[in-house]
Structure 1
Amino acid sequence: MNLSDQEYIRYSRQVMLEQVGEQGQITLKNSHIIVVGLGGLGCPALQYLAAAGIGELTLIDDDVVDLSNLQRQVLYRSNHIGKAKVEAAEQQLYGLNSQVKINAINKKVEQVNLVKLLEKAGLLLDCTDNANSRYFINQACQQAGVTLVSAAAIGGNGQLAVFNFNQHKSPCYRCLYPDLEQQDTALNCQNTGVFGPVLGVMGSLQAIEAIKLLVQPGQVTANKLMLFDAWQLKFNAIKLSHNSLCPSCATLTG
């Protein structure tokens, strides 16, 4: 499948890049990415993925747009309040790039046969904000052998990790956070707050890693936890290792 003349014009600045080129753009055109969670992380990630020419995007979220979302969920507008996020996002993304195929699933991710969906996807972006969903997504990606790009943000801090489940004994999200349920109600955006641009940074980084996974997989920072401090404008990286006691990994191998 080649690029049309219109696609050459649309993606010309990207095709110029040595790391992408024409073949890389064709790869993006033929790619399918699942994005779970259409909040502060999912909004910027989706806009950059659609703009970059990802051929197919599957959106999963059961929430509706609320007035309090507009401070940081930059895909939505005031007239979207009360509308399902997947419907508003689909409308906005088609407006940005009508060549992208969008599948909108207005359900909680736990209600979706995610392993089945992953059979037709190259990778998944976890843009959710609760432990149960993150663990569910993590285990589905492990089972399907599909790379997971996970991010989170709270206050002025963000984090990003890529879990490459094609690698033997890859660390997983639960290796990193084995007891997240206990912390889930302690700190969240509703009771702690979040600096909106931090979500923009982390969601954009998810899009960067996703595109790199497709066109330059050797350049992806897998098996590391990237930490971002907006107030100090600093990044730090922590190496991640497989946890032999991880309950998610034990379920997979057991």
Structure 2
Amino acid sequence: MNITEEELEIFSRQLILKDFKEEKFNELQKKEISIIGLGGIGCPLAQYLISAGIKKLNIFDGDTIQKTNLNRQTLYSIHDIGKKKSTIAKKKLLGTNPNAVINSYNHKIVKDNLHLLKNSSIIIDASDNWETMRLINKYTTKKNLPLLSISVVGFDIQMILFENTTHNHLCLECIFPNHNEPELARCDTVGIMGTAAGLAGIISAQKAINFLLKFNEKNNILTLVDVKLLSISHIKTKKNIDCKLQ
């Protein structure tokens, strides 16, 4: 895949990186990424992936933009209130990289449309409800598709990348078995710091790039970030031998 003159100019500062030459850039452009949820995490996540050179992006969100979104959902403005998130997000992202192919879906992921994820090099779950998280986890485990799961509440970020290989089972159900949605803290009840969501989006974008380009990425490790304390910790995880999805 040849880099166009326009792309050379847009991505020039990235292409001079020691570990990110034209070969890596071409490799990244061939990848297809699906993002579930275009909220506080999904917005900066999509922005930085497009800005890094991802050329094919699938974005899913059935919600409309509200004023309460604006403290952290960086693709939207006051003029976008009431409009579909995925429609506005696609428009803004193409403004950064007009050569990208962005498939926007104005609905959430449900059982009947999971097939839209089948060609993904990696699926990134930035949704905010347990039902969707479990559905995507079950699908990616069954299809052996890499899944990056990330969430933010308050000042805290939680993130893990599941490789979902046939010989190494570990999934969301292994770590959080029998979890019920009412037990999950939500930003509309607990609150959320906009900078936490922004940092989560940036970190997850880099983690996805690291995985796709094999930048010595350590997967199947739960990463916890507290933005108030500026602390980060990593927890080793292992499969649950009683997991019903293995």
TM-score class, shorter-chain normalisation, is over 0.9
The equivalent residue for 2:6 is 6
The equivalent residue for 2:209 is 211
CA distance in 2, matches of 1:95, 1:234: 34
The equivalent residue for 2:127 is 128
CA distance in 2, matches of 1:131, 1:146: 19
Q: What is the percentage of aligned positions where both structures have the same residue?
A: 33
The equivalent residue for 1:252 is none
* Deviations 1:14-55 (CA, angstroms, capped at 9, x unpaired): 122232211110112111100000001100100001111101
CA distance in 2, matches of 1:130, 1:226: 19
The equivalent residue for 1:91 is 91
- The alpha-carbon deviation at position 181 of structure 1 amounts to 1.5
The equivalent residue for 2:107 is 107
Greater Cα offset, 2-11 or 76-85: 2-11
- The alpha-carbon deviation at position 247 of structure 1 amounts to 2.5
Q: Secondary structure at the match of 1:9?
A: helix
Contact 2:131–2:181 (Cα < 8 Å) also in 1: no
Contact 1:34–1:125 (Cα < 8 Å) also in 2: yes
The reply to whether residue 28 of structure 1 matches residue 28 of structure 2 is yes
The equivalent residue for 1:138 is 137
Q: Secondary structure at the match of 1:170?
A: coil
Amino acid at match of 2:12: S
- The alpha-carbon deviation at position 9 of structure 1 amounts to 1.8
Return the match for 1:236 from 219, 233, 238: 233
* Deviations 1:74-94 (CA, angstroms, capped at 9, x unpaired): 111111110011001011111
Give the number of the structure whose residues are more often helix, by fraction. Answer: 1
- Structure 1 length as normaliser, TM-score? 0.92
- The alpha-carbon deviation at position 167 of structure 1 amounts to 5.5
CA distance in 1, matches of 2:182, 2:245: 18
Q: Secondary structure at the match of 2:138?
A: helix
- Cα-Cα RMSD: 1.4
Greater Cα offset, 104-113 or 148-157: 104-113
Q: Secondary structure at the match of 1:59?
A: strand
Contact 1:118–1:146 (Cα < 8 Å) also in 2: no
The reply to whether residue 227 of structure 1 matches residue 211 of structure 2 is no
CA distance in 2, matches of 1:182, 1:15: 43
- The alpha-carbon deviation at position 5 of structure 1 amounts to 2.0
- Structure 2 length as normaliser, TM-score? 0.95
The answer for unaligned runs of 5 or more in structure 2 is none
Contact 1:151–1:159 (Cα < 8 Å) also in 2: yes
Contact 2:29–2:55 (Cα < 8 Å) also in 1: yes
- The alpha-carbon deviation at position 244 of structure 1 amounts to 1.3
CA distance in 1, matches of 2:227, 2:112: 35
Q: Secondary structure at the match of 1:109?
A: coil
The reply to whether residue 74 of structure 1 matches residue 74 of structure 2 is yes
Amino acid at match of 1:148: L
Alignment of 1:114-193 (within 5 A): 114=114, 116-166=115-165, 168-184=167-183, 186-193=184-191
CA distance in 1, matches of 2:151, 2:68: 18
The answer for unaligned runs of 5 or more in structure 1 is 250-254
* Deviations 1:225-250 (CA, angstroms, capped at 9, x unpaired): 0000111110000001011112333x
Contact 1:170–1:223 (Cα < 8 Å) also in 2: no
Contact 2:129–2:181 (Cα < 8 Å) also in 1: no
CA distance in 2, matches of 1:183, 1:170: 27
CA distance in 2, matches of 1:140, 1:161: 17
Amino acid at match of 2:203: L
